[in-house]
Amino acid sequence: MQHEERKSNLWKYALLGLGGILIFIPLMATVFSSFKPTKDIISNFFGFPNPITWDNYSRLIQDGISHYFLNSTIITFLSIAVIMLFIPAAAYSIARNMSKQNAFAIMYSLLILGIFVPFQVIMIPITVMMSKIGLANTTGLVILYLTYAIPQTLFLYVSYIKVSVPDSLDEAAEIDGADKFTTYRKVVFPMLKPMHATTLIINALWIWNDFMLPLLILNRDAKMWTLPLFQYNYTGQYFNDYGPSFASYIVGIITITIVYMIFQKHIISGMSNGAVK
């Protein structure tokens, strides 16, 4: 029995190792290529850069990547801010009332249905609508990110509140004289720290790397481009010059990877604190 279990674990580790290699090799090739001139990339794609050159990054700075990096940062920050402001509050209200009032249960079901609507179905109507109401800009894009984040994020928050935040806390706060808003702000919201970190990472990764919505909403004005839009148009502009393109990919990868590593620690610590409490 132990022999079969060890054999099964060996296969699992082998598959995980193979998967890691398949991810690691292209990633390292991208990193190496960002420090090589195009002729070296073509002649030795997987090889270590020799010599290492920073010319690709210098060209990116000259071509204004900092402006598009700032655009992506602002859009991601504002989108996460409105998501964290509105959705947890809505989830708290729904979680506490959906078993008491059918209206909340119906509202929740309708909002969750958004998970099953393919983006391609509403892609053109959304683009036309945002153009007609004058929101084909950064503000409109932030509103769309909030809208698209609602189904999955609301589902996560409602499930977490129902399981991990008991109704007795509300009753205790009410006895102490707190109203619903104070209870949410001072009692419930701090207890949602693990879910805050989880949803922040999920939505930040998606918004930072998103290509389709910025393409539909912002592509008409180059000044409003996000980093993925810049990378797309930059690759087309310098199609035969791969070095700067690879360098632009690394800029995007490093930034969101740092954010992920920071908040991953908060998820672990938040869950541990919740378990101790």
- For the stretch 193-202, pLDDT in tens is 888 888 888 8
Give the pLDDT score at 3: 56
Residues with pLDDT less than 50, the chain: 269-277
For residue 260, the one-letter residue type is: Y
Q: Is the peptide bond before 51 cis (omega within 30 degrees of 0)?
A: yes
Give the whole-angstrom CA distance, residue 70 versus residue 75.
Answer: 9
Give the pLDDT score at 175: 83
Number of Cβ atoms within 10 Å of the Cβ of 139: 13
Q: What b-and-e string marks burial along 58-75, b requiring 16 or more CB atoms within 10 Å of the CB?
A: ebbeebebeebbebbeeb
Give the pLDDT score at 115: 85
Give the whole-angstrom CA distance, residue 98 versus residue 106.
Answer: 8
Q: Which of 239, 232, 228, 234 is nearest to 59 (CA)?
A: 234
Give the pLDDT score at 174: 82
Give the whole-angstrom CA distance, residue 5 versus residue 11.
Answer: 10
Q: Which of 197, 199, 205 is nearest to 76 (CA)?
A: 205
Give the pLDDT score at 140: 93
- Who's near 185: CB < 8 A, 6+ residues apart? none
Angle, in degrees to the nearest 10, between helices 242-276 and 2-33: 140
Q: Are 249 and 231 in contact (CB under 8 A)?
A: yes
Give the pLDDT score at 79: 95
**Residues present in the chain in total:** 277
Mean pLDDT for all residues in the chain: 83
pTM of the model: 0.84
Q: Which structure tokens are listed for 60?
A: 């990116």
